[in-house]
Chains A and B, each alone.
Chain A
Amino acid sequence: MQPQVLVYGVLNGIGIGMIYFILSVGLTMIFGLMRFVNFAHGAFYMVAAYSAFAIAQWTGSVLPALVVGPLLAAAFALVSERLLLQRTYDLPHESQILITFALAILAQEAVIMVFGTLGKNVPVPQALGGIVFIGGFVYPAYRLFVVAVAAIMALAMWIAIEWTRFGAVVRAAAESSEMVNLLGIDSRKVFMAAFAFGGALAGLAGALAAPLRGVEPLMGREALAIAFVVVILGGLGSFSGALVAALLIGITQSVMSMIWPAGAHLMIYGVMTMILAFRPTGLMGRS
């Protein structure tokens, strides 16, 4: 393989990896905050991706979906938290997993009822449809845009986690959620905020990914599985772990899809198994 092609694969991989990171951060944050495993996280991603498809159909450009998609996913997350999920906070993990899993089925069936079972393409926005030259490389502008948006979001999240009051609560809760409750913080509001924020991030990932991947009803499941691989490798509750794991998976998938397209997805899980065989607690080493 030519080195140029390899560089192209790695660049694409960073873009995909950044999307995976934004997708996984909400999952890991909600777990860190309330020890809640959300099997409906992929559904947030799917809802926003489908909204991107619908918006591209109506307005001719997918760009408004970058705002509408996350808002819709956040609304979906908030409504399900208030109506259903808050009833499960006192139940065992297994019950939470099964209820959110059922919620994911409901969302998937609802999407099929509206949009049908077949996958659909989402056009790249016209303004970003061209190519750019980076030091002799030809690169699609939209992919560069994705990397830029994701990088800005990652930076914004880092600032939010490190410098805001909400971030302080999230970090404290990841260390000891009982202690945070004892400090008199209104956990109800924090949980709602976490679900809305996590849902919005998954939604942003879905809206960004739609023009690259298209939309199809099973995309939520696949996204959920990918997010799980990220948190298993990076450690549930760890942000830096999620970033490293997401980039690793994105690059693996992208490079492999040039060498062995049929096995690109398989290699994600192959890499996961190899890492776990040698480091059972994942890359960051905390259990």
Chain B
Amino acid sequence: MPDREHGFPNTTTVAIAVILIALPVVLPSLTLASEIAVLATGALSCTLLLGSVGLLSFGQGLYFGLGAYIAAILLRDFEAGALVAVMASVVSGAAIAALTGLVIVRRQGVYFVILTLAFAQMGFFLALAFPDITGGENGFSNVPRASVAFGHASLASPLLLYAVLATLAFLAFLFVQRIIASPFGSVLRAIRANEGRSEALGYDVKRFKLAALTMAGAIAALGGAMNTLLLNFVPLSAIDFEASEKLIIASLIGGVGAPLGALIGAGFLAAMSDFLSPIWPRWSIVVAILLILTVLYLRDGLLGLRGALMRVFKRRPAHG
């Protein structure tokens, strides 16, 4: 039986495509649209983990940063094309996520969350300890403007750059939708609903979690590589604790119930940052308060806003 909510491709697929096409038209700057595509891809990795498997990761910034550095090194020191750099980042993100995942999936619940955070810290200090490779606190600079592949189609035009970033983001969303709709995705949901029972049914829960972590690592690394294409630079903040925070916050505020939430959350957060940060440098206070409100009252994030409002309005006549 086709499952409407988890189907593929479905109306959400169309919605994601429409939003990605509309962003540069609606928003005042192409840079902001590009930032949203990057942030949405990174946040998608958190959405995949939390929404499908119920794994809260405070460490996706590690793979985001890794992807950013790998892409930067390939673009600058090996004069690779954007496509090669992006693919290499995705593969390394998956590989490192699988490696750290081997240690992380052995622990459950709160230990899992704490371990993701600890490994993200480790990645940050790794970048800091080897400034010859990463540029340390000054960041990795002088990354040339890439061409798509083999010297053709330079990404110097902001519109072409956005088109490439939006396409990559769209591919990532297609991938996650496909995963969620697959039998593999339904096992992940079973693990989320009841880990013990899934294990009793004979599923190797750890292996499924490891697979999900690997995929999420690849997606986060893709986001990092896209970030390098956009900035031509890797700041240390691409791999610090704040990078992980941004990804999880965007994914939560949007709603982790469906991939679309990552795009909505990223759009909301990036637009708010663009609008508020020049007015009030301490705008993170607003983000923190929003996060508290989301967790307490809006469990499905902005995606669930419509349902939540409907519930409020439906309840009213009963009181009156």
Write the nearest CB–CB distance from A174 to chain B, whole angstroms: 14
CB neighbours of A231 from chain B (8 A): 114
CB-nearest residue of chain A to B102: A277
Q: Are B284 and A113 in contact (CB under 8 A)?
A: no
Which chain A residue lies CB-closest to B106? A280
Binds B, one of A152-160, A239-247, A258-266: A258-266
Nearest Cβ on chain A to B248's Cβ, whole angstroms? 8
Asked if B122 and A262 make an inter-chain contact with CB atoms under 8 angstroms apart, the answer reads: no
Report B-chain residues with C-beta under 8 Å of the C-beta of A232. 111, 114-115, 118
What chain B residues lie within 8 Å of A84 (beta carbons)? Answer: 292
A-B interface pairs (CB < 8 A), number: 107
A106 within 8 A of B: yes
**How far is B118's CA from A113's CA once the two chains are assembled, in angstroms?**
28
Cβ-defined contact, A269 with B122, below 8 A: yes
Give A172 Cβ to nearest chain B Cβ, in Å.
21
| Contact digits for A90-114, partner B, Cβ 8 Å, 1 yes 0 no | 0101110111011101101100110
Contact with B along A254-284 (1 / 0, CB 8 A): 0000001011011011101100110011000
Assess whether B296 is in contact with A228, with CB atoms less than 8 Å apart.
no
Q: Is B241's CB under 8 angstroms from A221's CB?
A: yes
Q: Contact at B295–A99, with CB atoms within 8 Å?
A: yes
CA distance A287 to B161 in the complex (A): 49
Partner of B110, one of A37, A102, A112, A262: A37
Band of interface residues on A: 35 or more
- List of B residues within 8 angstroms of A268 by Cβ: 125
In-complex Cβ contact of A225 among B103, B110, B121, B252 (8 A): B121
**A266-B122 contact in complex given A105-B287, A106-B285, A280-B103, C-beta closer than 8 Å:** yes
| Residues of B220-262 contacting chain A, CB below 8 A | 241, 245, 252
Chain B residues whose C-beta falls within 8 Å of the C-beta of A225 in the assembled complex: 117-118, 121, 241
Instruction: Give residues of chain A (194-251) contacting chain B, Cβ–Cβ below 8 Å.
Output: 221, 225, 228-229, 231-232, 236
A112 partner residues in chain B, CB cutoff 8 A:
282
Shortest CB-to-CB span from A10 to chain B, Å, is 22
Contact between A236 and B111 (Cβ–Cβ < 8 Å)? yes
Question: Which of the four size classes fits the interface of chain B?
Answer: 35 or more
Whole-angstrom distance between the alpha carbons of A284 and B260 in the complex?
A: 43
Shortest C-beta distance, B280 to chain A (Å), equals: 10
Q: Report chain B residues within 8 Å CB of A95.
A: 295-296
B131, chain A: closest CB distance, angstroms = 7
CB distance from A138 to the nearest CB of B (A): 30
Q: Is B289 an interface residue (CB 8 A)?
A: yes
B177 to chain A, nearest CB (A): 23
Question: A102 touching B289 by the CB < 8 A rule?
Answer: yes
Which residues of chain A come closer than 8 Å to B68, judged between CB atoms? none
Give the chain A neighbours of B252 by CB distance below 8 A.
Answer: 98
Return chain B residues, CB-CB under 8 Å to A269. Answer: 118-119, 121-122, 125
Q: B156 in the interface, Cβ–Cβ < 8 Å? A: no
Bound Cα distance from A224 to B176, whole angstroms: 32
- A165 an interface residue at 8 Å Cβ cutoff? no
Identify which of A229, A231, A277 gathers the most chain B CB atoms within 10 Å of its CB. A229
* Residues of chain B within 8 A of A236, CB atoms compared: 110-111
CB <8 Å contact, B288 and A105: yes
Contact, CB under 8 Å: B109 / A273:
no
Q: Are B131 and A262 in contact (CB under 8 A)?
A: yes
Give chain B residues whose Cβ lies under 8 Å from the Cβ of A287.
107
B32 at the interface (CB under 8 A from A): no
Q: What B residues does A108 contact at CB under 8 A?
A: 284
Q: Is A87 an interface residue (CB 8 A)?
A: yes
Chain A nearest CB: distance from B297 CB in Å? 11
The residues of A that contact B285 with a CB separation of less than 8 Å are: 105-106, 109
Q: Is B88 interfacial (CB 8 A cutoff)?
A: no
Contact with A along B292-304 (1 / 0, CB 8 A): 1001100000000
A109 B282 Cβ-Cβ under 8 A: yes
Verify if B129 is at the interface (C-beta below 8 Å from A).
Answer: yes
**Bound complex: CA A109 to CA B110 (Å):** 26
Min CB–CB distance A43 → chain B (angstroms): 11
The 3 closest A-B pairs by CB, nearest first: A269-B122, A105-B288, A266-B125
Residues of B within 8 A of A (CB): 50, 54, 56, 58, 103, 106-107, 109-111, 113-115, 117-119, 121-122, 125-126, 128-131, 241, 245, 252, 282, 284-285, 287-289, 291-292, 295-296
Using A101-B245, A102-B295, A109-B284 as known contacts, list a sample of 5 further A-B pairs with CB atoms less than 8 Å apart, ordered by residue number in A: A37-B110, A88-B296, A109-B288, A262-B128, A262-B131
